[in-house]
């Protein structure tokens, strides 16, 4: 649909070969294209402004290296800057010294938490862990059942409240799951929590209560990459509410160009740790900042 940034810049700088230094107007022209590329990728406007300012500083008066043409040089600076904001390197899960490691999932309803619980469970199982999924989303009538189906598909055990015991207390379920994990030697506990369609004070408090009860090693904020600009507001609300250590971007198989990753990383300072790109268990990987930078600039 779009020309790549590289194509656009090549067109802009066709006549720039042989120059020793990028002039102010060369830099301005390039930054205009970069700004457009970022906005088309749905990067938050204030993040775009900040990003452009940082690139301007690096590019103004920069000598054109012998080895690269001006376009390549600009793309290199922009790419490095993007990768830097996205955390530089893949951030791995921090496993607890004394198992079980507790991973809590938080995010809006429909963001992909339950699906992610299955994917994470399978991924951990495949790397020789012994995970337990915990149904602490007792808000939606079908959520427990959905997690059980996902767990079965992934071949991972699920801890859920006994049916027929009323709706139950998600904090108590989460707390009991840790005891269960210790008893049955599960080494990673993945706690699925309830979300609403919008940020909601009551559910945020519930997430905080669950957090306090299970003292997670990692709280992962799961966010639908397709929500674009809204991702920043939602991420900020969760950062200030329950707080989180890392981000999971879901639905990257859609046509979102990944601007949410950059916006959230910049605004919250938290790394994106995993990328979810489909409804199947295998559609999941660690997040690679360099690949996302290419996707944003493509
Ligand atoms: P939750 O409410 O946060 O637990 O979200 P769910 O895990 O139930 O996911 C909501 C919907 O999004 C379901 O229909 C999932 O199949 C779908 N879904 C989840 N992750 C992905 C993804 O990475 N890509 C796509 N295309 N769909 C996804």
Query: What number of CA atoms fall less than 13 Å from residue 109's CA on the CB side?
Result: 15
Could you tell me what percent of the chain has a pLDDT over 70?
A: 93
Residue 159: per-residue pLDDT: 96
Question: What's the ipTM?
Answer: 0.99
Q: Is 101 in the pocket of ligand 1 (CB under 6 A)?
A: no
Assign 196 a pLDDT band (cuts: 50, 70, 90).
confident
Average pLDDT in the chain: 89
Ligand 1 pocket mutation pick from 105, 112, 121, 249 by most atoms within 8 angstroms of CB: 112
Question: How close is the Cα of 226 to the center of ligand 1, in Å?
Answer: 12
- Return the ligand 1 atom nearest residue 115 CA: 7
Q: Determine if ligand 1 sits within 6 Å of the CB of residue 126.
A: no
Query: In whole angstroms, what is the distance from residue 196 CA to residue 180 CA?
Result: 28
Q: Does residue 251's CB lie within 6 angstroms of at least one atom of ligand 1? A: yes
* pLDDT, position 17: 57
Q: Look at ligand 1, atom 26, and give the residue with the nearest C-alpha.
A: 278
| Cα 1 to ligand 1 centroid, rounded to whole Å | 26
CB neighbour class for 256 (10 Å; exposed up to 12, middle 13-18, buried from 19)? buried
**Gyration radius of the chain over CA positions:** 22
Q: Could you tell me if the CB of 139 is within 6 A of ligand 1?
A: no
Alpha-carbon distances of 167 from 110, 147, 178, 204, 214, rounded to whole Å: 20, 16, 20, 18, 20
| pLDDT of 122 | 97
Q: Which of 3-7, 50-54, 178-182, 288-292 has the lowest mean pLDDT?
A: 3-7
Question: Any residues with CB less than 8 A from the CB of 230 and at least 6 apart, and which?
Answer: none
Ligand 1 within 6 A of CB of 73:
no
Binned at pLDDT 50, 70 and 90, residue 1 comes out as: very low
- Inter-residue contact 191 to 219 (CB < 8 Å): no
Work out the average pLDDT over 88-114: 95
Q: List the structure tokens of 194.
A: 């309830």
Q: Which residues make up each annotated binding site for GTP?
A: 107-114, 192-196, 250-253
The ligand 1 atom nearest the CA atom of 107:
3
If you average pLDDT over residues 23-41, what whole number do you get?
87
Q: Residue 138 has what pLDDT?
A: 87
**Residue 7 confidence (pLDDT) above 70:** yes
Q: Which residue's CA is the nearest one to ligand 1's atom 9?
A: 112
Does the Cβ of 119 fall within 6 Å of ligand 1? no
């Amino acid at each position: 649909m779009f020309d790549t940034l590289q194509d656009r810049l090549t067109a802009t700088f066709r006549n720039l070969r042989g120059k020793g230094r990028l002039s102010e107007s060369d830099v301005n022209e390039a930054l205009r294209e970069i700004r457009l590329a970022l906005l088309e990728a749905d990067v938050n406007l204030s993040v775009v402004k900040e990003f452009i300012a940082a690139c301007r500083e690096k590019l103004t008066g920069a000598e054109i290296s012998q080895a690269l043409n001006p376009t390549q040089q600009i793309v290199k600076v922009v790419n490095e800057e993007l990768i830097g904001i996205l955390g530089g390197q893949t951030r791995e899960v921090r496993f607890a010294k004394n198992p079980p490691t507790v991973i809590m999932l938080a995010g809006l309803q429909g963001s992909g938490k339950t699906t992610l619980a299955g994917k994470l469970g399978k991924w951990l199982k495949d790397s020789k862990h012994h995970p337990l999924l915990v149904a602490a989303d007792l808000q939606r009538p079908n959520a427990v059942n959905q997690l059980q189906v996902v767990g079965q598909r992934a071949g991972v055990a699920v801890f859920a409240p006994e049916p027929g015991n009323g709706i139950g207390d998600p904090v108590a379920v989460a707390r009991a799951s840790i005891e269960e994990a210790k008893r049955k030697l599960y080494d990673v506990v993945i706690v699925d929590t309830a979300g609403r369609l919008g940020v909601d004070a009551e559910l945020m408090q519930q997430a905080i209560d669950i957090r306090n009860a299970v003292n997670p090693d990692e709280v992962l904020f799961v966010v639908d990459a397709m929500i674009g600009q809204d991702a920043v507001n939602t991420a900020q609300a969760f950062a200030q509410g329950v707080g989180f250590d890392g981000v999971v971007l879901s639905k990257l198989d859609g046509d979102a160009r990944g601007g949410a990753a950059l916006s959230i990383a910049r605004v919250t300072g938290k790394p994106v740790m995993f990328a979810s790109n489909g409804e199947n268990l295998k559609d999941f990987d660690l997040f690679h900042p360099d690949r996302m930078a290419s996707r944003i600039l493509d």
